[in-house]
Amino acid sequence: MSVKARSLIVGMATYIPGLRGLTGRRTGGTVSARYCYSVWLRHLSILQRCGLPTTFKTMVELGPGDSLGIGLAALLSGVERYIALDVIQYASDAQNLRIFEELIALFKDRAPIPDEAELPLVRPLLPSYAFPADLLTSARLDAALHPARLELVRSGITNPAPRPRGRGPVCYIAPWRPGVIESGAVDLVLSQTVLEYPPDLEGMYSEMCRWLEPGGIMSHEIDFKSIGMTVEWNGHWSCPDTIWRLAAGRRRHRLNREPHSTHVALMQRMNCRVVCDERTVQPSAITRAQLAPRFRHLTDEDLTTSSALIQAVKLA
């Protein structure tokens, strides 16, 4: 069996009253300004490389985690409004303000994008980590970093708009519910290692596409690995549902185990055209014969795709 004994014990322990809260207390990398700066500039650089828009009025980020830093980096690059939606409120004003000040310094210095040596687990990778000066021109940065605008964002961090329709550059809703954002009100939806969690992925994509105006963009980095719950990086696809349910237990965040092809198919079904699909490929650590019945349909490409950055445009 490929599920680790520790995963089973933790999963079962989540049924004990009081212990569920011990899982998922920290989310990922957004405690670090350099991580947030790197992730945002990686998405932006790849949008440019794929010939997609790189200036946006309203960006929604799904699952910002421990801070709103990725969206704050977007605001410092000229995005006008940032709406963060999470299932749990992890980010605090103090953390967001600290990250914001560190991000301002990084943009003012035109710092190179933190690379694989500094952030070895972060995807997508770039061919060059030089500051994208052709994209973030002096004129664009001067406007985004104007003292009056920085002050506006600071006050938006401590007094975020309570509703997406409200005024102000920052809106943070956690927990969020479908329907919270108007149809066609958004021109960028972005997420970083989030879409491997929602249990109703079809509903999630339908909702995100509804938010987008025609020509609007989705940019999602998705991790398909088993996040250490199994011995093999893709051992979760060999796990029968009964064992997986025990290991997942009532953890705050449970993987949906959907492979790469499901995400691409859903985007296409929701009237989006996939323009960029940067897969990270890793040899499969399990054989086809080991696949659990519900994963027998996985393609060879799915079996070896450990993560992907997928960028798509909403068609008219």
Ligand X SMILES: C[S@@+](CC[C@H](N)C(=O)[O-])C[C@H]1O[C@@H](n2cnc3c(N)ncnc32)[C@H](O)[C@@H]1O
Binding window for ligand X (CB under 6 A); candidates: 28-36, 104-112, 286-294, 300-308: 28-36
| Range in contact with ligand X (rule: CB under 6 A) among 71-79, 85-93, 96-104, 258-266 | 85-93
Q: What are phi and psi of 208, to 5 degrees?
A: -65, -40
**Closest by CA position to 113, among listed 189, 33, 47:** 33
For residues 59 and 79, is the Cβ–Cβ distance under 8 A?
yes
Q: How far is the CB of 253 from ligand X (least distance, A)?
A: 5
Amino acid of residue 109: D
Distance CA 31, CA 12 (A): 29
- Map residues 102-141 to x or -, x wherever contact with ligand X holds by CB under 6 A: ----------------------------------------
Positions in 154-173 near ligand X (CB under 6 A): none
User: Which phi-psi region, left, alpha or beta, contains residue 85 (left: φ > 0; alpha: ψ -120 to 50)?
Assistant: beta
Q: For residues 284 and 304, is the Cβ–Cβ distance under 8 A?
A: yes
Q: Nearer Cβ to ligand X, position 171 or 286?
A: 171
Q: Is 193 in the site for ligand X (CB under 6 A)?
A: yes
Residues 56, 107, 197, 244: which binds ligand X (CB under 6 A)? 197
Q: Select from 90, 61, 65, 85 the least CA-distant residue to 74.
A: 61
What is the Cα 266 distance to its own chain's centre? 17
Q: How far is the CB of 143 from ligand X (least distance, A)?
A: 27
**Distance between CA atoms of 84 and 172, rounded to whole angstroms?**
5
On whether the CB atoms of residues 222 and 263 are closer than 8 A, the answer is yes
Could you say whether residue 4 binds ligand X (CB under 6 A)? no
List the x/- string, 214-253, binding to ligand X by CB under 6 A: ---------------------------------------x
Residue whose CB is less far from ligand X, 65 or 114: 65
Size of the site for ligand X (CB under 6 A): 19
Residues 6+ positions from 209 with CB-CB distance below 8 Å: 218, 267, 270, 271, 272, 314
Least distance to ligand X from the beta carbon of 138, Å?
29
CA distance 313 to 275: 7
Q: Does 90 bind ligand X (CB under 6 A)?
A: yes
Q: Out of 7, 14, 27, 54, which residue is the one contacting ligand X (CB under 6 A)?
A: 27
**The only residue of 11, 198, 216, 235 in contact with ligand X, by rule CB under 6 A:** 198
| C-alpha to C-alpha distance for 173 and 160, rounded to whole angstroms | 9
CB of 289 to ligand X, least distance (A): 31
DSSP characters for 161-217? BSSTTSSSSEEEESS--TTSS-TT-EEEEEEES-TTS-S-HHHHHHHHHHHEEEEEE
Contacting residue, 72, 79, 85, 239, with ligand X by CB under 6 A: 85
List 181, 194, 239, 313, residue binding ligand X (CB under 6 A): 194
In contact, 52 and 141? CB cutoff 8 Å: no
Name which position in 8, 13, 88, 275 contacts ligand X (CB under 6 A).
88
Q: Measured from the CB of residue 127, what is the shortest distance to ligand X in angstroms? A: 22
Q: Which stretch binds ligand X (CB under 6 A): 4-12, 22-30, 241-249, 266-274?
A: 22-30
Residues 51-70 that bind ligand X (CB under 6 A): 62-65
Which residues of the shown chain bind ligand X in the complex (CB under 6 A)? 27-30, 62-65, 85-88, 90, 192-194, 197-198, 253
